[in-house]
Chains A and B, each alone.
Chain A
Amino acid sequence: MVRTIALLIGAAFVAALGFALFGTIKTAITDPAPESAEHVFHVHPEDIGLKSAGLLGKFDLQQVQRGFQVYKEVCSACHSLKYVHFRDLTKIGYSAGQVKAIAEAWVIEQPTINPETGEAATRKNVPADPFPSPFANEIAARAANNNALPPDLSLITKAREDGSNYVHALLMGYRDQPAELVKDFPGSKTPKGLHYNPAFANLNIAMPPPLTQDGQITYADGTKATKDQMARDVAAFLTWSAEPNLESRHGAGLATVVFLAIFLFLVWGAYQNVWRDQKH
Chain B
Amino acid sequence: MSFPWAKHYEPKQPLMRWLDEKLPLPRLVYNSIGAGYPVPRNLNYWWNFGVLAGVALVCQIITGVVLAMHYAPNALVAFGSTEHIMRDVNGGWFLRYAHANGASMFLFVVYVHIARGLYYGSYKAPREMVWLLGVVIFLLMMATAFMGYVLPWGQMSFWGAQVITGFFSAIPGVGETIRVWLLGGFAPDNAALNRFFSLHYLLPFVIAGVIILHIWALHIPGSNNPTGVDVKGEQDTVPFHPYYTAKDGVGVGAFFLVFALLVFFAPNLLGHPDNYIEANPLSTPAHIVPEWYFLPFYAILKSFTFNFLWIPAKLWGVLAMFGSILLLFFLPWLDSSPVRSASYRPKYRVFLGVLLLDVLVLGYVGGAEPIARNVIMGQIASMYYFAHFLIILPWISRSERPLPLPTSITEAVLAKHGETAHAEPALAH
Show the binding face of A for B, using Cβ within 8 Å.
Answer: 2-3, 6-7, 9-11, 13-21, 23-25, 27-28, 32-33, 55, 83, 88, 151, 154-155, 158-161, 163, 201, 242, 244-245, 249-250, 252-254, 256-257, 260-261, 263-264, 267-268, 270-271, 273-275, 277-280
Known: A7-B394, A17-B304, A23-B305. A263 touches B246 (CB 8 A): no
From B274, which residue of chain A is reached at the shortest CB distance?
A: A159
Contact with A along B82-102 (1 / 0, CB 8 A): 010011000001100100000
Number of A-B contacts (CB under 8 A): 174
The interface bits of chain B over 217-260 (1 if a CB of A lies within 8 angstroms of the residue's CB, else 0) are: 00000000000000000000010001100110110111011001
User: By the criterion CB–CB under 8 Å, are B246 and A270 in contact?
Assistant: yes
Please name all residues of chain A whose beta carbon is closer than 8 Å to the beta carbon of B263 when the two chains form the complex: 253
Interface of A is mostly: helix
Interface of chain B residues 239 through 296 with chain A (CB within 8 A): 242-243, 246-247, 249-250, 252-254, 256-257, 260-261, 263-265, 267-268, 273-274, 276-277, 286
> Chain B residues near A154 (CB, 8 Å)?
83
26 A–B pairs (Cβ distance < 8 Å), ordered by A: A3-B336, A6-B327, A9-B386, A9-B390, A11-B390, A13-B386, A13-B390, A17-B303, A19-B308, A20-B304, A20-B379, A21-B379, A21-B380, A24-B305, A154-B83, A159-B273, A245-B93, A252-B264, A260-B257, A263-B253, A264-B250, A267-B249, A267-B252, A271-B250, A274-B243, A275-B247
Task: State the 4 A-B residue pairs at the shortest beta-carbon distance, nearest first.
Answer: A253-B264, A10-B390, A264-B253, A28-B372
Residue of A nearest to B393 (CB): A6
Query: Is A271 touching B276 in the complex (CB atoms < 8 A)?
Result: no
Task: Confirm or deny: B200 has a beta carbon within 8 angstroms of a beta carbon on chain A.
Answer: no
Give B305-349 as 1s and 0s: 1 = Cβ < 8 Å from A's Cβ atoms.
Answer: 110110101001000100100010010011010000000000000
Whether A275 contacts B383 by the Cβ 8 Å rule is: no
- In the complex, the answer to whether B249 meets A271 with C-beta atoms within 8 Å is yes
A6 contacts across to B, CB distance below 8 A: 327, 330, 334, 389-391, 394
Instruction: For B246, list chain A residues within 8 Å (CB).
Output: 267, 270-271, 273-275
The size bracket of the interface on B is 35 or more
Q: What is the CA–CA distance of A280 and B415 in the complex, to the nearest angstrom?
A: 10
Beta-carbon contact of B260 and A257 below 8 Å: yes
Across the interface, do B253 and A24 meet the contact criterion of CB distance under 8 Å? no
Shortest distance between the CB of B47 and any CB in chain A (Å): 11
Could you tell me the dominant secondary structure of chain B's interface residues? helix
Q: Is B50 an interface residue (CB 8 A)?
A: no
- Considering the chains assembled together, what is the distance between the CA atoms of A263 and B259 in angstroms? 14
A10-B386 contact, Cβ under 8 Å, with A25-B376, A27-B372, A257-B264:
yes
Neighbour of B247 across the interface among A32, A83, A271, CB < 8 A: A271
B87:A3 contact, CB within 8 angstroms: no
The answer, yes or no, to whether B427 is at the interface (CB within 8 Å) is yes
> Which residues does chain B contribute within 8 Å of A14, judged by CB atoms?
383, 386-387, 391
Q: Would you give the shortest CB distance from B125 to chain A, in whole angstroms? A: 14
Query: A271 vs B245: C-alpha distance in the bound complex, in angstroms?
Result: 9
Contact between A28 and B260, CB atoms less than 8 A apart: no
A158-B268 contact in complex given A16-B316, A24-B372, A253-B263, C-beta closer than 8 Å: yes
What would 15 more interface pairs be, CB under 8 Å, given A55-B265, A256-B260, A257-B264? A3-B334, A13-B320, A16-B316, A20-B379, A21-B380, A23-B305, A33-B371, A83-B80, A201-B286, A249-B264, A252-B264, A260-B260, A261-B257, A267-B250, A267-B252
Q: Kindly list chain A residues whose C-beta atoms are within 8 Å of the C-beta of B257.
A: 257, 260-261, 264
Alpha-carbon distance A25/B220, docked complex (angstroms): 52
Q: Assess A260 versus B304: contact at CB under 8 Å? Given A11-B391, A279-B414.
A: no
Least distance between B6 CB and chain A CB atoms (Å): 17
Give chain A nearest CB distance to B277 CB in angstroms. Answer: 5
Residue of B nearest to A155 (CB): B276
How far is the CB of B55 from the nearest CB of chain A, in Å?
13
Q: Does B253 contact A16, Cβ atoms closer than 8 Å?
A: no
B129 near A: Cβ within 8 Å? Answer: no
From B262, which residue of chain A is reached at the shortest CB distance? A253
Nearest-Cβ distance from residue B327 to partner chain A, whole angstroms = 7
Tell me which residues across on chain A come within 8 A of B350, comparing CB atoms.
Answer: none
On chain B, the residues within 8 Å of A55 by CB distance are 265
Query: Are A270 and B428 in contact (CB-based, < 8 A)?
Result: no
- The answer to whether B323 touches A270 (Cβ under 8 A) is no
Q: Which residues of B contact A158 (CB under 8 A)?
A: 268, 273, 276
